Amino acid sequence: MTEKSGSIFTSHSFYVRIVTAFVGLLVVTVLPIVSYNHHQNTEIALELSDDLINQITMTVKEKTANFLLPASIMVEISARLAETGVLSWSDTRQIELYTFGVLKSYPQICMFFLGDEQGNYLRSWRLPDGNIETRLILRSASPPTDVIKHCDPLSRVIRTETSSNIEYDPRIRPWYLGAKETRANFWTDLYILFRNKKPAVTSAYPVTDSQGNLLGVWGMDIELDEMSQFLKNLKIGKNGIAFIVNKKNEVVAYPDASRIVKEEDGKLRPVRVEELGMASITAAFAEYVKTGRNKLAVESQGKRYVASIREFPQSLAAQWQVVVVAPEDDFIGGAKEIIRDTLLICLIILMISIVLAVLVARSISKPIKLLTEETNKIKDFRLEDAPAIQSRIKEIQLMGQAVAAMRTGLQAFRRYVPAELVRRLIQTGEGANLGGHKKELTVFFSDIAGFTTIAEQMGPEELMLHLSEYFDELTRILSDHGGTVDKYIGDGIMAFWGAPLPDEDHAGRACQAALLCQENLRELNRKWAAAGKTALPTRIGLSSGETVVGNVGSGERINYTVMGDNVNLASRLEGVNRLYATQILVSQATYDKVSDRFWFRPVDIIAVKGKTAETTAYELVGSKGAGESDSLAELCREFTRGFHAYLKRDWAAGVNIFSRLTQKFPGDASSELYLARCRRYQDHPPGPDWRGVTYLESK
Residue 226's nearest CA partner among 61, 102, 67, 60 is 67
The pLDDT of 304-319, averaged and rounded, is: 78
Asked whether the predicted pLDDT for residue 111 surpasses 70, the reply is yes
Asked whether the predicted pLDDT for residue 379 surpasses 60, the reply is no
The pLDDT of 670-679, averaged and rounded, is: 93
Longest dimension (CA), the chain: 130
Contact at 8 Å (CB) between 203 and 219?
yes
Asked whether the predicted pLDDT for residue 9 surpasses 50, the reply is no
Cα within 13 Å of Cα(532), Cβ side: 2
Percent of the chain with pLDDT over 90: 33
Question: How many Cβ atoms from other residues are within 10 Å of residue 629's Cβ?
Answer: 15
Comparing 285-294, 364-373, 423-432, the range with the smallest average pLDDT is: 423-432
What is 358-385 written as a DSSP string? HHHHHHHHHHHHHHHHHHHHHHTT----
- Please, is 277 exposed, middle or buried when counting C-beta atoms within 10 Å of its C-beta (0-12, 13-18, 19+)? exposed
Q: Which residues neighbour 382 within 8 Å (Cβ) at sequence distance 6 or greater?
A: none
Cα–Cα distances in Å, from 27 out to 229, 336, 342, 351?
54, 21, 14, 11
Asked whether the predicted pLDDT for residue 661 surpasses 90, the reply is yes
Whether the bond between 500 and the residue before it is cis, its omega within 30 degrees of 0, is yes
The pLDDT of 232-240, averaged and rounded, is: 82
Domains delineated in the chain: 226-327 (3.30.450), 434-594 (3.30.70.1230)
**For residue 413, what pLDDT is reported?**
45
**For residue 420, what pLDDT is reported?**
46
- Give the C-alpha separation, 667 to 652, whole Å: 22
Asked whether the predicted pLDDT for residue 7 surpasses 50, the reply is no
Structure confidence by residue, pLDDT tens digits, 148-165 = 999 988 888 899 998 878
Q: Which of residues 378 and 119 earns the better pLDDT score?
A: 119
Question: How many Cβ atoms from other residues are within 10 Å of residue 466's Cβ?
Answer: 18
Q: Which of residues 224 and 358 earns the better pLDDT score?
A: 224
Structure confidence by residue, pLDDT tens digits, 11-22 = 444 456 666 776
Asked whether the predicted pLDDT for residue 679 surpasses 90, the reply is yes
- Give the C-alpha separation, 133 to 120, whole Å: 17
Eight-class DSSP state of 534: P
Cα 301 to chain centroid distance, Å, stands at: 37
Which secondary-structure segment (H or E) carries 3?
Answer: helix 2-10
Asked whether the predicted pLDDT for residue 433 surpasses 70, the reply is no
Comparing 147-161, 322-336, 427-441, the range with the smallest average pLDDT is: 427-441
Query: Residue 439 — pLDDT band, cuts 50, 70, 90?
Result: very high
Q: What is the pTM of this model?
A: 0.44
Q: Which of residues 204 and 89 earns the better pLDDT score?
A: 204
The pLDDT of 337-344, averaged and rounded, is: 72
The pLDDT of 655-675, averaged and rounded, is: 92
Asked whether the predicted pLDDT for residue 358 surpasses 80, the reply is no
Mean pLDDT of the chain: 82
Structure confidence by residue, pLDDT tens digits, 242-272 = 889 988 888 988 888 888 888 888 788 888 8
**For residue 476, what pLDDT is reported?**
92
Asked whether the predicted pLDDT for residue 185 surpasses 80, the reply is yes
Burial 26-42, CB ≥16 within 10 A → b, else e: beeebeeebeebbeebb
Structure confidence by residue, pLDDT tens digits, 518-529 = 999 999 999 999
3-state secondary structure of 256: coil
The pLDDT of 546-561, averaged and rounded, is: 80
- Please, is 537 exposed, middle or buried when counting C-beta atoms within 10 Å of its C-beta (0-12, 13-18, 19+)? middle
E-strand stretches of 260-393:
261-264, 267-270, 295-300, 303-311, 320-327
3-state secondary structure of 615: strand
